[in-house]
Every structure is written in C-alpha cells, then in structure tokens.
C-alpha cells in the first residue's frame, strides 16, 4: 500500500472514524454530571422510602391463624431465614423476607478480586398487596412464615414460600432451578386477587444494582446499559435515565460488560417504565435500575410466570432465554450496526471454529487474523497492483505537471485521461486502509463483548478482554492514554511504523511534505487510541501488520513485475476505449470548470 495521495485520504478517513467512534463511546462520561441531580434526587427518594418502611415496623410478620382485626402483627417466632438452590453453574440464595432471590453466585467466573462473581446484591422484586383494614404493604417487607422444600423432579430443585392472610387469602412464591442453568424460574401464585390486589392489577417494582467485576470500574461503568424487549423488538438505553414503555414488555436486563441480571415475563407485561443511572462516585458500584411493570389479572386466582437470569453475556446461552435476548451481546449498534452481520456471520463462526481445537485464545486470535488477511488478500493484491501502475506512470505525470504548471484543472483532466488509457484505478491504493474500517470496528465490538476471552492469558497479557500492562505510570496521560503502558499497543504501533517506512521506500518522492509525514503521524495516533483497548484487539493488529509486511514483500518482490506492467499499459493504450457515463460526466464537469477558470483569468488581466 503506497503512500500516494489517495492512500493518505484513506488513512485520514480511518483516523477520523477512529476518533469519532471513541468520542461517541466516551461522551457518555461527560453526560454523567448532567444526571447528578437526578441521581441525588433518586437517592433521597430511596432514603425516604426506607424511613417510611421502618416506620411500618419492618419486616411485617404474618399471623395467618389470627382472626383479630389487626391482620398483620409481630410474631417473634418468625425470623428471616435463608435457603439455597444450587447446580453446576450457580448457587442461588433466597430469603423468606419477601420470598425472593437475594443473590446469586456464579461458580465458573471470578471477579477482579479472584472471588466468584456475585450478582443481585442489594436488589429486590416487590409488589403491593392488601392485608385488609385499609392496610397495604410491599411484599418484600413481609416475612413468609412457611418455607417448603419440594421434592426434586429430574434434577429440578424447588422451593416455595407462602403465607395466608387472616381473610384466608394466600400468596405463594415458587422457585425452581434446573441443572446447568443460569435462570431461576419464579412463579407468583395469588389466591384471592379480588382482595389481595387493587383493581386486579399487579404492580411489580424491580430494583436491581450492579457492581464492579472487572479490573477498572470506570470502563465497566461506561460499558453498562439497560437492554429490553418491547413489543417483541430489542432496544436499549445507555445515556437516557428514563424510559416509558408504550408496548408490552417481554424482558428487561441491567447489563454490565460481561454479565447481566434480567427479568423475563413469559406471558409479557402490559406496561411500565424504567429509571436508571450510572453511579458517579469512585466506588465499585456501576449502575442502579428501578423498573415498574404492570399486568392485569382475571378471575379470583392468578399465576404470574417469571424467569430471573443471573449470568454471563454469552451469545449462545442468551439465545435460549428469550427472543432477541442474545442482542445483549454488543456486536455492533447504532452508528456501527453495519458491523453486526460481519461479527455474527463471519467473525464469530470462524473464531468458534478455531477455538474448537486451539486451547489458547491468543493463538485463536492469531489464526482468526490470518484467515481475515487471506480472505482480503485479493483486494490487497489489487491495491498493490494499482500502486505499481501509478509508480510506472509517475514520470509521465511529472511531465504533464511540468507542461501545465499551475493549471490544476488542466492537470486533473490530463491525469484522468492518462489513467483511463492505462486502465488504472486511482482509488485502488487506499482500498486496504478503507477495508480496515469495518473490520476494526467489528473486532472492537467482538473482543469487548466476547466473554470467552475474559480472564484468558496469553504471553504477557493476563486478560485478553482487557489491556495488558507492562508498566504502571504514577500519573494519568490525557487523550485516553491512561496511567499504564500496554506492550501489545507498542508492538502494534512499531509494526505500523515498519509498514510506513517500507511503503515510503517503495514510493516515488512526494512533493507535498504532508504526504511524507502522514504515515508516521498515524502510528502515533494509534498509540493513544489503542493503549486502553483489549489486548486481543492490539494483538490482532500486531499480527495483521506482520502479515501485511510479508504479503507486501511477496507480492512486490516475486509477483508484480514492473516491466510486464508497463507492457500491459502500452497494450491497454492501443485498445479502443469506451467511456463510461461517469467518466463522460466527470470530464464534462472538469471542462466546464476549466472554461470558467479561464474566463476568470482573462477578466483579471
């Protein structure tokens, strides 16, 4: 890839898109200050709610045998107890306070402290019920007096919490966990909805919080968002703090970089809204979500089937949970949604294919890189061939420029005519640079969201899903560089410089100084862009550059013959030419511009 004018245009476009992308992903951090007041108001509201609940003598203990006018009264014999459901992948902690899940341990994943990932801490799922005598209470404030561990069927573990009001109305919370599953089936049974509910409507309130699991909470917080399915269509929010649902809700999930906590309504929920915010302090809290969801019941008895997913953002696992839930894995969204098909149908299958027989994921990335470079090699060859033709025509172009002097429009017309006669594509030299744009953004999304890379070491990198660190700086370098030095970033930059040096040696002397120094400026820009990116991506870029150098040497030294190219150009010149419509219109436009310029020059004289 020679550093002619068109190649530089490709580099500039590539660099511009790089900066635009990282500006887009990092601007969310600047918006946090805007949400601070909203966040503080939410905290104040939560504190007020807690104080109000304390005033109601929480938790409420139900005496189902009492027929007194006071339906809810304290019973010292009822205390909070915990039960557990456990399979090969999760350990679920449940409490009789509210009869709900209070936390889930993921047994196959560790956090930055080398402890098992724990999800659901400080979270709750509640809804109001009527106890009678104009007394309404949230279900998560009630201590269920009865806990029943049901017999297992086909390895499915079950627990039921229940209580009965003085009026004989019963609430049951049934939980079940299948082998090797991350989702807990949750069934709410209401016997006597006409008295338990107001207007036969269930108003679910789901409060869920996420906490740091990765190396840096800042980056993980930036990657956090809320995903949901509304009206059967996937959507998400990452910068807005509120969302009102206009269509039925299928599921809502609070998503971290590699894990998520999601509530799934098997029969859908009629309406609702959510309010969420990223944490703005320096602690390990990432985000908080409160979702309010409503559904109507019919008859005197009701059953609400839910599923609670606490687990990894694994594409194949999420695909089995609910429709479009696999889109939680960010393979390309919004402005960069065009790379999602590349990831889904090319990158991911090829990666999984190599991962099927290569144990170390660093070598998987290497084979993936070689595959991509081999697939794109025909375009690479075409680019080098176009550059070689441009080099052969350089003496003639210099002669035209010397003859026409400062007549830029005349030179452009003569240049176009020469290229057409010789069969040269002037844009061919920048094809590899432009081709790197969708591939880079596809791999950026893929490596940032691929949980199989998480915690996988390779060479000096301890985690391919995050940046590698060979030196920690006592200060933070601005412009996104950070407080560390990544060795894979250094290798990516150095190999980029090697490519630039090689291309300069193969390129005729440029008259414009900017064209001479641009190939060296670009690698320096990469240093600031790459230093905080996943080491899998910078390792890919390093390998890609090395393969590019090898291909250049082979193609230009052993395949492309400049004498043959010159002979082919001469043959092409003798062949009758048929102008395309675009060429004809372009030449007409250039001639019109030249006439206007000539007229202006005469007027000045």
Transcribe 406-453 into DSSP letters: T-HHHHHHHHHHHHHHHT--TTGGGHHHHHHHHHHHHHHHHHHH-GGG
> Is residue 118 in a domain?
yes
Q: How confident is the model at residue 88 (pLDDT cuts 50, 70, 90)?
A: very high
Q: Which of 356-365, 439-448, 563-572 has the lowest mean pLDDT?
A: 563-572
* 343 and 324 assigned to the same domain: no
Q: How confident is the model at residue 241 (pLDDT cuts 50, 70, 90)?
A: confident
**Cα–Cα distance for residue pair 534/454, rounded to 1 Å:** 10
Helices 408-422 and 581-604 cross at an angle (nearest 10°) of 160
> Is residue 604 in a domain?
no
Q: What are the Cα distances from residue 532, in Å, to 411, 466, 490, 580?
A: 45, 8, 12, 47
* 429 and 458 assigned to the same domain: yes
What is the DSSP secondary-structure string of 350-413? HHHHHHTT--SHHHHHHHHHHHHHHHTHHHHHHHHHHHHHHHHHHHHHHHHHHHHTT-HHHHHH
**Cα–Cα distance for residue pair 46/290, rounded to 1 Å:** 11
**How remote is the C-alpha of 203 from its chain's centroid?**
32
**Cα–Cα distance for residue pair 397/509, rounded to 1 Å:** 13
**Cα–Cα distance for residue pair 265/259, rounded to 1 Å:** 19
> Is residue 588 in a domain?
no
Given this model, what pLDDT does residue 362 score? 93
Q: What are the Cα distances from residue 63, in Å, to 70, 72, 197?
A: 10, 6, 19
Given this model, what pLDDT does residue 206 score? 94
> Is residue 538 in a domain?
yes
Q: What are the Cα distances from residue 131, in Å, to 65, 99, 140?
A: 14, 17, 14
CB 527 within 8 A of CB 489: yes
**CB within 8 A of 350, min separation 6: which ones?**
368, 371
**CB within 8 A of 511, min separation 6: which ones?**
none
* 234 and 362 assigned to the same domain: no
Torsion over CA: 485, 488, 491, 496 (sign) = negative
Given this model, what pLDDT does residue 402 score? 76
Residue at which a domain ends, from 329, 353, 383 = 329
List the CATH number of the domain containing 200: 2.70.98.90
What is the DSSP secondary-structure string of 216-257? -HHHHHHH-EEEEEETTEEEEESS-SEEEESS-EEEEEEE-S
What's the domain range around 276?
A: 38-329
> Is residue 579 in a domain?
no
40-58 burial: b if 16+ Cβ within 10 Å, else e: eebeeeeeeeeeebeeeeb
Residue at which a domain ends, from 270, 295, 329 = 329
**Cα–Cα distance for residue pair 324/321, rounded to 1 Å:** 9
**Phi (first) and psi of residue 161, to 5 degrees:** -110, 140
> Is residue 601 in a domain?
no
Quick one: tokens of 233?
């269509």
Torsion over CA: 18, 19, 20, 21 (sign) = positive
Q: How confident is the model at residue 97 (pLDDT cuts 50, 70, 90)?
A: very high
Torsion over CA: 526, 527, 532, 536 (sign) = positive
Q: How confident is the model at residue 132 (pLDDT cuts 50, 70, 90)?
A: confident
Selection from 265, 274, 131 nearest residue 198 by Cα: 131
Given this model, what pLDDT does residue 518 score? 66
* 247 and 358 assigned to the same domain: no
**Cα–Cα distance for residue pair 288/303, rounded to 1 Å:** 28
**CB within 8 A of 85, min separation 6: which ones?**
91, 92, 94, 157, 159, 175, 176, 177, 184
* 345 and 278 assigned to the same domain: no
**Phi (first) and psi of residue 454, to 5 degrees:** -65, 125
- Give the residue with greater pLDDT, 447 vs 70: 447
* 494 and 534 assigned to the same domain: yes
pLDDT tens for each residue of 458-479: 999 988 988 888 888 887 777 6
**Cα–Cα distance for residue pair 260/275, rounded to 1 Å:** 17
Is pLDDT at 240 greater than 70 in this prediction? Answer: yes
Please tell me the total count of domains within the chain.
2
Mean pLDDT over residues 409-428, rounded?
Answer: 67
* 195 and 277 assigned to the same domain: yes
* 207 and 304 assigned to the same domain: yes
Selection from 356, 550, 547, 534 nearest residue 440 by Cα: 534
Residues paired with residue 235 on neighbouring β-strands, in sequence order: 228
CB 60 within 8 A of CB 143: yes
* 553 and 485 assigned to the same domain: yes
pLDDT tens for each residue of 168-226: 889 999 999 999 999 999 999 999 888 888 888 899 999 999 999 988 888 888 889 99
* 314 and 410 assigned to the same domain: no
> Is residue 423 in a domain?
yes
CB 466 within 8 A of CB 450: no
Q: How confident is the model at residue 54 (pLDDT cuts 50, 70, 90)?
A: very low
- Give the residue with greater pLDDT, 36 vs 316: 316
Is pLDDT at 286 greater than 70 in this prediction? Answer: yes
**Cα–Cα distance for residue pair 73/63, rounded to 1 Å:** 7
> Is residue 240 in a domain?
yes
Residue at which a domain ends, from 329, 348, 383 = 329
* 560 and 446 assigned to the same domain: yes
**Cα–Cα distance for residue pair 231/272, rounded to 1 Å:** 12
Task: Check whether the bond before 59 is cis (ω within 30° of 0).
Answer: yes
Q: Which of 9-18, 37-46, 218-227, 423-432 has the lowest mean pLDDT?
A: 37-46
* 249 and 388 assigned to the same domain: no
**Cα–Cα distance for residue pair 296/318, rounded to 1 Å:** 28
As a whole number of Å, the end-to-end CA separation of the chain is: 44
């Amino acid at each position: 890839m020679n550093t002619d004018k068109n190649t530089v245009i490709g580099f500039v476009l590539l660099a511009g898109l790089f900066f635009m992308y990282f500006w887009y992903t990092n601007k969310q951090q600047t918006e946090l200050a805007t949400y601070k007041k909203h966040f503080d108001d939410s905290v104040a509201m939560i504190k007020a709610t807690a104080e109000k609940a304390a005033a109601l003598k929480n938790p409420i203990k139900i005496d189902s045998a009492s027929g007194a006018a006071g339906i809810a009264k304290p019973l010292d014999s009822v205390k909070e107890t915990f039960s557990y459901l456990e399979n090969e992948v999760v350990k679920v902690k449940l409490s009789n306070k509210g009869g709900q899940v209070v936390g889930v341990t993921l047994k196959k994943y560790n956090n930055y402290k080398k402890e098992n990932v724990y999800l659901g801490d400080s979270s709750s799922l509640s809804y109001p019920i009527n106890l009678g005598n104009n007394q309404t209470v949230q279900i998560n404030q009630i201590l269920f007096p009865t806990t029943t561990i049901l017999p297992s069927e086909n390895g499915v573990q079950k627990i039921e919490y229940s209580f009965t009001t003085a009026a004989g109305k019963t609430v049951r919370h049934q939980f079940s966990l299948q082998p090797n599953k991350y989702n807990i089936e949750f069934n709410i049974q209401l016997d006597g909805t006409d008295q338990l509910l107001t207007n036969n409507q269930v108003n679910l309130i789901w409060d869920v919080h996420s906490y740091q699991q990765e190396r840096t909470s800042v980056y993980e917080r930036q990657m956090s968002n809320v995903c949901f399915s509304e009206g059967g269509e996937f959507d998400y929010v990452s910068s807005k703090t509120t969302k009102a649902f206009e269509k039925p809700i299928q599921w809502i999930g609070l998503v971290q970089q590699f894990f998520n906590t999601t509530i799934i309504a098997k029969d859908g929920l009629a309406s609702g809204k959510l309010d969420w915010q990223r944490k703005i302090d320096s602690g390990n809290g990432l985000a908080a979500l409160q979702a309010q969801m409503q559904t109507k019941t019919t008859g005197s008895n009701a059953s609400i089937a839910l599923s609670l997913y606490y687990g990894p953002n694994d594409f194949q696992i999420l695909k089995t949970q609910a429709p479009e839930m696999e889109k939680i894995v960010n393979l390309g969204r919004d402005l960069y949604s065009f790379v999602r098909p590349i990831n889904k149908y090319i990158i991911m299958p090829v990666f999984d294919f190599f991962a099927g027989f290569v144990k170390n994921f660093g070598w998987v990335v290497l084979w993936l890189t070689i595959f991509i470079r081999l697939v794109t090699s025909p375009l690479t060859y075409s680019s080098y061939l176009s550059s070689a033709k441009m080099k052969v025509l350089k003496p003639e172009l210099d002669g035209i420029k010397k003859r026409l002097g400062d007549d830029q429009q005349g030179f452009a017309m003569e240049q176009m005519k020469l290229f057409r006669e010789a069969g040269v594509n002037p844009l061919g030299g920048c094809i590899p640079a432009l081709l790197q744009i969708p591939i880079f953004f596809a791999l950026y999304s893929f490596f940032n969201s691929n949980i199989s890379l998480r915690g996988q070491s390779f060479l000096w990198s301890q985690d391919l899903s995050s940046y590698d660190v060979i030196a920690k700086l006592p200060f933070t370098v601005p412009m996104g560089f950070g407080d560390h030095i990544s060795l894979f970033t250094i290798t990516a930059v150095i190999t980029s410089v090697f490519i630039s040096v090689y291309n300069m040696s193969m390129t005729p002397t440029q008259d414009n100084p900017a064209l001479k120094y641009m190939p060296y400026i670009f690698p320096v820009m990469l240093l600031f862009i790459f230093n905080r990116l996943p080491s899998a991506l910078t390792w890919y870029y390093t390998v890609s550059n090395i393969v590019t150098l090898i291909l250049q040497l082979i193609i230009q030294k052993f395949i492309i013959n400049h004498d043959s190219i010159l002979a082919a150009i001469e043959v092409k010149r003798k062949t009758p030419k048929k102008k395309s419509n675009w060429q004809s219109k372009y030449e007409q436009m250039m001639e019109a511009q030249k006439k206007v310029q000539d007229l202006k020059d005469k007027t000045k004289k």
